[in-house]
Structure 1
Amino acid sequence: ANMPVELKGNILVTGANRGLGLELVKQLAETTGQEAHIYACSREPEGSRTEFFDIQKTLVIMMCISMHLPVDVADEESISAAVQAVQDQIGDAGLNILINNAGIRKPALSGALSATKKNDMMEVYETNVVGPFTIAKMFLPLLKKAAQRDSSAKGSGMYLFFHVMLNVGYHHWEKTQWSEYILMVSSLNMLTRCQAEDFKTHNIVVTAIHPGWVQTEMGGENAPLTTVDSVLGMLSVISSLSNKDRGMLLDWQGNTIPW
C-alpha cells in the first residue's frame, strides 16, 4: 500500500445533498481542517430534500465548505456556471480533487431489459455517464492548473481526479435486477479508462471507486454497509492513490475489482 497523503487543496464533490455525497463532504470537512476548501454541488441545494445546510451550520466555523453550488450534471449551462463560480473563488490555485458522485437510478423500473423504456435508459445514462464526462471535461482547465502548480512546486506530488461509483452490488451484478444500471456502470468504467489515458499527459490520475452496497436512498435499508464506513474507506483509498491506479476500478477497501 502507498503511504496515505493528507487530502487538502480545493476539493469538489457532486451529488452532495444526500447519501454518500453528503457523508463525503461531512468527513472531508471534519478531517481536512483549514488546509482544504470544499465545493459541494447538488441539483437541489435549497430544495426540501437537502440536509446540507444543517451540517453547514455546524461546520461553518471550520471554514472548510467554501461554496454549495446548484449543479444539474445533465445540464451544461448549470455546470458552466459552477466552473465559473469555483474559478472566481480559487483563482490560479486550480482544483486538486474532483469526486464525481452524482447519480440516479429509476426505482420504478422492474430491471428486466425487455421492460425498460428507452427514455428511462437515456435518463440514467445521461446523468450517470454523460454527467461525469461533462463535469470532467469542463473542470479540466482547473484540474490542469493544480497539477501544473504542483509539478512545478515540488515535482513529486500528485493531484487526483477520480469517479466514485454508486451503490452497485457490483460483485453480485448477475443477481441484481437493475439491468439499465449495470449497463451504465460498464460505460462509466470504460469512461474512466479512456479519461485516465486522456488525462495522463496532464499528470491527473483518474480512478473509479466502488463504494460497496450502502444504506442510502439508492442502496436501500437492507444494504450491509453504512455511509460512514463506506466513506471512511473511500477517503483512505483516495489518499493512497498513485499512478499505478490510473484507470483502475477499486472498491472502498482498496481492492482491485476486475471488470
Structure 2
Amino acid sequence: MLKAQSVLVTGSNRGIGLEVIRQLAGNSSHPEWIFATCRDPEASHAQELKNLAAKHRGVKIIQLDVMDPSSIQTAAAKVTEHLQGTGLNLLINNAGIVRPSTVESETPENMSEVYKNNTIGPMMVSQAFLPLLRKASQESPQKGMSCSKAAIVNVSSASGSITEVLGWNVGHIINYRCSKAALNVLTRCQGLGLAEDKILCVALHPGWVQTDMGNAEVGASRD
C-alpha cells in the first residue's frame, strides 16, 4: 500500500496522468499533497482535472511544461513552498507525446521534438525535484527503497524495448520508440546514480491504454 505523503505527476490533465490523480485522490489513505502538473492548466482539456481539484483539497494544479526549463524551475519552487520544509516522496514522469511515422517518413523535427519531451523532459524534471526527493529519503524512517519513501517513476513503454519492439505491426512510431528506449536507459542510470541516496528509480510499462495518445500510437479512434 502506498503511504507517500506527497506525489507529483506530470501530464496530469488527461489520459493516464489524470487517472493517476483520480485514483490517488479517491483513496481512503490518500497523500496529503497531490501535485497535478500540466503544460496549460487553463486549456479546455484541463477542465476535468480542475473539477477533480475542486472536490479534493489535497490536489494542487501547477503549471509545468517538461520542455521548458524555466517552467520546471518555477514549478519546483511552488512545490517547495507548499511542502513547507518537507520532501517529495514520489515523482511520476508521465507526460509524453508521439508523432505517427514509419522508417521512411520519420523526420528530424519529429524525432527531436518527441525525444525532448519524452526523454530530456523527465531528466530535467527529475533534476529539478531531486533536492526534495533527497530530503524525503533522508527524513524517512523506512529502510531500503520504496515509492512511499522517495522514488522516481518514469512512465515508459515496451515499444522501446530492443528485444520486444512491442506492437510493431500496429504502429511503427519510430520517434516514440527511440525516445522510450532512451528513457529506459536514463532510468537505469538514475537508479545507479541515486542508489546511495536510497531513491528508487523505475521505468513503468502501463500497457496499451485507450487514451488520446494511446489511440494515436495505433492509429485508432475512440468510440
Whether TM-score is above 0.5 comes out as yes
Q: Which amino acid aligns with 1:139?
A: F
Q: Identity of aligned pairs, percent?
A: 35
Shift of 1:187: 0.4
Assess if the C-alpha contact under 8 Å between 1:103 and 1:127 holds in 2: yes
Shift of 1:183: 1.0
Q: Could you tell me which residue of structure 1 aligns to residue 134 of structure 2?
A: 144
CA RMSD of aligned residues (A): 2.2
Q: Which amino acid aligns with 2:122?
A: P
Shift of 1:168: 4.6
Judged with a 3 Å threshold, the aligned counterparts in structure 2 of structure 1 residues 126 and 169 are, in CA distance, closer, same or farther, namely closer
Judged with a 3 Å threshold, the aligned counterparts in structure 2 of structure 1 residues 216 and 34 are, in CA distance, closer, same or farther, namely closer
Q: Could you tell me which residue of structure 1 aligns to residue 43 of structure 2?
A: 47
Shift of 1:222: 10
Partners of 1:39 and 1:204 in 2: CA distance: 19
Assess if the C-alpha contact under 8 Å between 1:215 and 1:221 holds in 2: no
Matched, 1:92 2:88: no
1:187-235 CA distance string (max 9 Å, x none): 0110111111011111001001111011000112998xxxxxxxxxxxx
Alignment of 1:162-173 (within 5 A): 162-165=153-156, 168=159, 172-173=166-167
Judged with a 3 Å threshold, the aligned counterparts in structure 2 of structure 1 residues 141 and 210 are, in CA distance, closer, same or farther, namely same
The DSSP-based 3-state class of the residue aligned with 2:204 is strand
Partners of 2:180 and 2:155 in 1: CA distance: 11
Q: 7-16 or 19-28: which moved more?
A: 7-16
Assess if the C-alpha contact under 8 Å between 2:160 and 2:179 holds in 1: no
In the superposition, the TM-score normalised over structure 2's length comes to 0.87
Q: Which amino acid aligns with 2:214?
A: G
Matched, 1:26 2:16: no
Partners of 2:17 and 2:123 in 1: CA distance: 18
Judged with a 3 Å threshold, the aligned counterparts in structure 2 of structure 1 residues 7 and 221 are, in CA distance, closer, same or farther, namely farther
Assess if the C-alpha contact under 8 Å between 1:36 and 1:64 holds in 2: yes
Alignment of 1:1-259 (within 5 A): 5-33=1-29, 35-50=31-46, 51-57=48-54, 59-60=55-56, 63-65=57-59, 67-106=60-99, 109=100, 111-150=101-140, 153-155=141-143, 158=146, 159=149, 160-165=151-156, 168=159, 172-175=166-169, 176-220=171-215
Report the number of matched residues: 210
Judged with a 3 Å threshold, the aligned counterparts in structure 2 of structure 1 residues 93 and 42 are, in CA distance, closer, same or farther, namely same
The DSSP-based 3-state class of the residue aligned with 2:215 is coil
In the superposition, the TM-score normalised over structure 1's length comes to 0.75
Shift of 1:117: 1.3
Q: 43-52 or 125-134: which moved more?
A: 43-52
Q: Which amino acid aligns with 2:184?
A: N
Judged with a 3 Å threshold, the aligned counterparts in structure 2 of structure 1 residues 204 and 118 are, in CA distance, closer, same or farther, namely same
Partners of 1:167 and 1:127 in 2: CA distance: 18
Assess if the C-alpha contact under 8 Å between 1:99 and 1:164 holds in 2: yes
Q: Which amino acid aligns with 2:156?
A: M
Gapped regions of structure 2 (runs ≥ 5): 219-223
